[in-house]
């Protein structure tokens, strides 16, 4: 059961962040995968309920960090907020005298600006990497709802419909590259695809 479930989990292609919201779908998918194995023992597997999936501690920690970053949203604004908090705390510290307060504020501004610049550069770099990764991934449209899915997806990531095994393609009239049927433009040369060709 464990190995069959693990195999079913991998084949479902459900992202780790989305597992909790897809327990019912995953249970149905896994039940159909395990039905033959249970029949070999004379058992009829009528239902397979998933109550919880435990992940390794490192994976859970990484997911918690990713979720926290999603909640923060705009990292630049968050850095500004943190710098403002630091300046407020420095202003409330009256024990160091005027010169120490001025030095503390100057250091706070410098650190805040450096952090904001570093975070901005990191965000720009990760966004450009994400755009280049997205641009190179082959996608295919769901036959039921039309949502974009990975070319080798077995089920639609939007509606859960079974994807066609091989997407139908037509050759581009200009360059001959395969174009998904129903596409408006060629992915290779950008030529407009005429309907019905």
Q: Which of 6-15, 106-115, 136-145 has the lowest mean pLDDT?
A: 106-115
Per the document, the length of the chain is 197
Q: What is the percent of the chain with per-residue pLDDT over 90, rounded to a whole number?
A: 0
pLDDT tens for 59-104 read 788 777 777 766 666 667 777 777 777 777 777 776 655 555 555 5
Domain residue spans in the chain?
2-61, 74-136, 138-166, 167-197
Contact 163, 153 (CB under 8 A): yes
Continuous H helices in the chain: 2-12, 23-39, 57-72, 75-92, 97-136
Q: What is the pTM assigned to this prediction?
A: 0.33
Cβ atoms within 10 Å of 94's Cβ, excluding its own: 9
Looking at residue 4, its pLDDT comes to 81
Compute CA 185 distance to the chain's CA centroid, rounded to the nearest angstrom: 27
Q: How far apart are the first and last CA of the chain?
A: 48
pLDDT in tens, 37-67: 888 888 888 888 888 888 788 878 877 777 7
Nearest to 139 by CA among 169, 175, 171, 161: 169
Is the Cβ–Cβ distance between 116 and 76 less than 8 Å? yes
């Amino acid at each position: 059961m464990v190995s069959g479930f693990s195999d079913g989990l991998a084949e479902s292609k459900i992202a780790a962040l989305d597992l909790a919201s897809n327990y019912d779908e995953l249970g149905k998918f896994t039940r159909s995968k395990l039905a033959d194995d249970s029949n070999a023992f004379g058992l009829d597997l009528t239902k397979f309920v998933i109550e919880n999936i435990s992940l390794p501690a490192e994976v859970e920690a990484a997911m918690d960090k990713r979720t926290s970053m999603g909640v923060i949203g705009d990292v630049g604004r968050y850095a500004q907020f943190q710098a403002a908090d630091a300046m407020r705390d420095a202003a409330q510290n009256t024990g160091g005298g005027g010169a120490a307060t001025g030095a503390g504020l100057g250091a706070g501004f410098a650190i805040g600006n450096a952090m904001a610049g570093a975070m901005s550069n990191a965000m720009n770099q990760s966004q450009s990497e994400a755009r280049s990764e997205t641009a190179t991934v082959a996608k295919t449209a769901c036959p039921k709802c039309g949502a974009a899915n990975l070319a080798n997806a077995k089920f639609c990531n939007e509606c859960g419909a079974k994807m066609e095994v091989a997407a139908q393609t037509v050759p581009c009239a200009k360059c001959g590259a395969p174009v998904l049927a129903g596409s408006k433009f060629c992915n290779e040369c950008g030529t407009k695809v005429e309907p019905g060709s």
